[in-house]
Structures are given as structure tokens and as C-alpha cells.
């Protein structure tokens, strides 16, 4: 078996924003069928750093993070978590980053590739259980880094295998791996990139309440809502076009999330009162995005909301 060449590497794991999210059915196996228009916010991102564990241990570096993982009963990959939201992230079992390494190890083995033990540093800048796919973004960033470690000749095949397998980690992981504006359907596996998306002066607002995705799905009244109108094949050429389209769409999780966390509606109302042309919850909440006519309007809204709600997490995009 050939060993994969793991280099010291890093990658940003940007937040995913569901501009629209329709729940259009449920399969017999329980997975929900979704239609979602997604974009990524490069200015709100976790960061993943990666190196082989032996090199990390040999270097004599101190552990910089607030938490680290070691195995019970055998050698294991190591995960060190730091950053503003580190405390909300499981460091041992249950962290999607560790699950992604396991998945990659299985997929690598199919190509007769050995993945050595890894030392991963996660800087958790994104709020956890916030509807912006933080864990999925982390897992996707890790898979993207590992795909680069495959030998050149089989790199594309390994990349494809990792992308296909990533759905097993969660419905949002394949779209985070794609990492660009897209229409996502099925249970998250069908991704149609959009050729055009205008610059979006956007403000993300999280009122500091974690919302459990499974709880929101359990609360859903309907699972067979009307589909999204057809997304134009060439994407959207202006903010006006996009806003016209969004007016015909929904987030079908918003009502259930709002019942669990009334702060969602408060955050949305704050964005609209501060001048957003459009505001809607992302994913299963509680993060709400606002779209603005321009960056100045967005910045003014950010100042007003930060002054009124100093404990809330805000992110401006583009930064
Ligand atoms: P989605 O929009 O995909 O439903 P989310 O943004 O609502 O995701 P995440 O931040 O991904 O939620 O967290 C969901 C759950 O995953 C949390 O309960 C958290 O403990 C767990 N989790 C595991 N690994 C991670 C990670 N690396 N980052 C954040 N959460 C993680």
C-alpha cells in the first residue's frame, strides 16, 4: 500500500447560506428531499490546518488549542480546537472532522492508499448549530485537503470518490465541497452550479441560540411543500433579478425553527428595520441573512445591530 503524501496545509471552511430552502418530500428511508439555492460567505469561515501526526509530535510544538482529542486504547488522529466557538464543538467522538478522516481513510484504502495518522487544527470561528453548516464546511475542507494528498495520476478519481462518499457525513457536505453558488436538490447530492451570481452585500446575524437541526425537522408540519420556481439556467445577473426570484421562494424550516427559537424572528425583524432589502433564516437557523442595496447600507445596518445587540454574532460579506 502506498502512503498518501500529507503536507502541512490549511484551508478555509466558509459558511453556507441557504438563500431559499424548500422541503418537498421525504423518502421511505426518512431522508428529506430538499431544493435549495446556496451561496458561500468567504468572510465567515472556520479554518482547518493539517499535518501528519508524527511530524507534529516530533516538532515539539505546544498544543495551542482549548481542546484536543486522543484515542482511548490506541493511536489516533489528533484534533485541536481553538477559536471563539471552540467550546460548542465536540472534541472527541462526534466531531465531523474526525468522521471525515475516517471516511477518507476508507475511500483511500479502495485506491490502495494508506492515510497516516493526522494532526488537525480547527479554528472555530463560526457559531455552532447555527444553520450555516459549520461542521459540514469543516468536514468538506478536510476532505478537500486530503484529496490533494493523493498521487497526481489518481487525484481526480480520488477526489470524485471523496465527493460521492461525503454525503454519508451529512446532506450539506457535498455542497460545501463544491463551495460555489448552486441549486442543490435530492437529499443534498445533486448540485447544479450557477454560472452567474451578482455580488451580494450581505449581513449574517446569529442571535446566540443554538438550534438542533433534527429538532426542527421533527417539528415540521408539512414535508411535501410546493417546489421552488425554476432557477434560470444562466443564474442571476443582478441583485434585482435575485431578489425577484427570492420573493417567490421560502425557507420551509423557518416556522418550526421560529417556534423553537423566537430569536430567529427578532433577528430577521432587526435586519429589516436596519434597511435590509430582504432577510431570511438560513438552514435550520438561527442565523438570519440580510441582503442590502450596497455595502454602505450593509455596514450601517451592522453598526446599528451590533450597538443594539452586543452579544450577537455578525458577519459582513464581502468583508
Ligand atoms: P446544518 O446547517 O448543516 O444543519 P448547522 O450549521 O446547523 O448545520 P453545525 O454547526 O454543523 O450546525 O453543528 C451541528 C452539530 O454538529 C452540533 O450539534 C455540533 O455539536 C456537531 N458538530 C460536530 N462536528 C462539528 C464541527 N466541526 N463544527 C461544528 N459542529 C460540529
What is the distance, to the nearest Å, from the Cα of residue 221 to the centroid of all Cα atoms in its chain? 25
Exposure pattern of 114-130 as b/e (b: 16+ CB <10 Å)? ebebbbbbbbbbbbbbb
Could you give the ipTM of this predicted complex? 0.95
Domain boundary among the residues 191, 214, 248 is at: 191
In the set 46, 77, 119, 172, the catalytic residue is 172
Q: How far is CA 53 from CA 4, 9, 77, 119, in A?
A: 13, 13, 7, 5
Same structural domain, 138 and 231: no
> Which tens digit of pLDDT belongs to each residue from 74-98?
568 999 999 999 999 987 778 999 9
pTM: 0.93
CATH for 280: 3.30.70.890
Same structural domain, 25 and 66: yes
Same structural domain, 111 and 212: no
Same structural domain, 217 and 186: no
Residue minimizing CA distance to atom 23 of ligand 1:
95
Residue minimizing CA distance to atom 27 of ligand 1:
135
Residue 198 cell numbers, joined: 451578482
Domain boundary among the residues 134, 161, 191 is at: 191
Judge contact between 38 and 45, C-beta under 8 A. no
Q: Give yes or no: 172 in active site.
A: yes
Domain boundary among the residues 191, 218, 244 is at: 191
235 is in an annotated binding site: no
> Which tens digit of pLDDT belongs to each residue from 20-41?
999 999 999 999 999 999 999 9
Judge contact between 12 and 47, C-beta under 8 A. yes
Q: Give yes or no: 93 in active site.
A: no
Same structural domain, 164 and 200: no
Which of 128, 208, 313 has most ligand 1 atoms within 8 Å of CB, for mutation?
128
Report, as ranges of residue numbers, the positions in the chain whose pLDDT lies below 50: 58-64, 66-73
Domain span at residue 215? 194-317
Same structural domain, 170 and 71: yes
Q: How far apart are CA 317 and CA 319, in angstroms?
A: 5
In this predicted structure, what is the pLDDT of residue 5? 86
Question: What number of residues does the chain have?
Answer: 319
130 is in an annotated binding site: yes
Structural domains of the chain, count: 2
Same structural domain, 210 and 79: no
Amino acid at each position: 500500500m502506498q502512503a498518501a503524501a500529507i503536507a502541512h496545509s490549511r484551508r478555509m471552511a466558509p459558511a453556507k447560506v441557504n438563500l431559499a430552502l424548500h422541503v418537498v418530500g421525504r423518502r421511505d428511508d426518512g431522508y428529506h428531499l430538499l431544493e435549495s439555492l446556496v451561496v458561500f460567505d468567504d468572510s465567515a469561515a472556520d479554518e482547518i490546518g493539517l499535518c501528519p501526526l508524527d511530524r507534529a509530535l516530533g516538532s515539539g510544538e505546544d498544543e495551542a488549542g482549548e481542546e484536543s482529542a486522543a484515542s482511548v486504547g490506541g493511536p489516533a488522529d489528533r484534533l485541536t480546537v481553538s477559536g471563539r466557538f471552540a467550546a460548542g464543538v465536540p472534541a472527541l467522538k462526534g466531531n465531523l472532522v474526525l468522521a471525515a478522516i475516517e471516511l477518507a481513510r476508507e475511500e483511500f484504502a479502495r485506491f490502495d492508499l494508506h492515510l497516516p495518522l493526522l494532526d488537525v487544527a480547527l479554528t472555530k470561528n463560526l457559531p455552532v448549530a447555527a444553520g450555516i453548516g459549520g461542521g459540514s464546511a469543516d468536514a468538506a475542507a478536510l476532505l478537500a485537503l486530503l484529496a490533494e494528498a493523493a498521487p497526481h495520476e489518481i487525484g481526480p478519481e480520488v477526489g470524485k470518490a471523496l465527493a460521492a462518499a461525503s454525503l454519508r457525513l451529512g446532506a450539506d457536505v457535498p455542497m460545501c465541497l463544491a463551495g460555489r453558488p448552486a441549486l442543490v436538490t435530492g437529499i443534498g447530492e445533486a448540485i447544479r452550479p450557477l454560472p452567474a451570481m451578482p455580488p451580494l452585500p450581505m449581513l449574517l446575524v446569529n442571535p446566540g441560540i443554538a438550534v438542533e437541526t433534527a429538532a426542527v425537522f421533527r417539528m415540521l408540519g408539512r414535508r411535501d411543500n410546493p417546489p421552488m420556481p425554476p432557477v434560470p439556467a444562466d443564474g442571476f445577473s443582478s441583485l434585482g433579478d435575485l431578489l425577484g426570484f427570492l420573493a417567490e421562494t421560502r425557507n420551509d424550516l423557518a416556522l418550526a425553527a421560529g417556534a423553537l427559537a423566537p430569536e430567529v424572528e427578532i433577528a430577521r425583524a432587526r435586519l429589516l428595520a436596519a434597511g435590509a432589502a430582504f432577510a431570511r433564516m438560513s438552514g435550520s437557523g438561527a442565523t438570519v441573512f440580510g441582503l442590502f442595496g450596497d455595502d454602505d447600507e450593509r455596514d450601517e445596518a451592522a453598526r446599528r445591530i451590533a450597538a443594539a445587540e452586543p452579544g450577537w454574532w455578525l458577519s459582513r460579506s464581502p468583508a
